[in-house]
Amino acid sequence: MLMWVGAVLVGLNIGSTAAATCPCVTESWTYNGNSYSYCNNPNGAKTAWCPTALNSDGTYTSNLPFTYCEGEVLTACDALKDANRPACPCVAGGEWKYGGQSQMYCADPSGSGFQWCATETDSAGNYQSGKYAKCTADILESCEALEDAEPDSICPCVAGGQWTFDGKPQSYCQKPNGIGRARWCPTES
């Protein structure tokens, strides 16, 4: 099968058993002001795609070559993306406070217009001014994976499971106001 890739006609051996490689650019790329890596679908195309070349400033524009990410190519790119995903830079455990309110991993408690997290806190868990990391798409994925891996607590709640926190009704295990690493509840009234 012949296929145009950019300005080059490429022959593809459909019956090939060779392992697929990821043709995407390996660095993060920007499209319409948003940052991506490897395969994504930022414009609602028929399937995920990735650029195979970028402008010198790291942006992708439609005059540059790209490839669709399907089948073995998608599998190869996802594996490469997972292997090269940046570590979550948030404080260990992801729990921190801003303005007295508890936060977990990436959030926007300051109304800055982007998600970020504390990279250092004081002994009480409060954010230290200037010690933060912006949660780009890649970092957000890494931090969300860590947050999802947090263990669920075994919840021996008060009889009936109904309780209040700061005057707000709660049911069984919760993380009221984002407090706690995992869901919790009081065990006595």
**Global confidence as pTM:** 0.49
Q: What are the pLDDT digits (tens) for 83-117? A: 888 889 999 988 899 988 888 899 999 999 999 99
Terminal C-alpha separation, the chain: 71
In DSSP terms, 142 is beta-bridged to none
Q: What is the DSSP string of 123-134?
A: TT-BBPTT-EEE
Which helix (H) or strand (E) covers residue 84, if one does?
helix 71-84
Provide the pLDDT for residue 155: 55
Planar angle of CA 120, 165, 97, nearest 5 degrees: 10
Cβ proximity of 141 and 35 under 8 Å = no
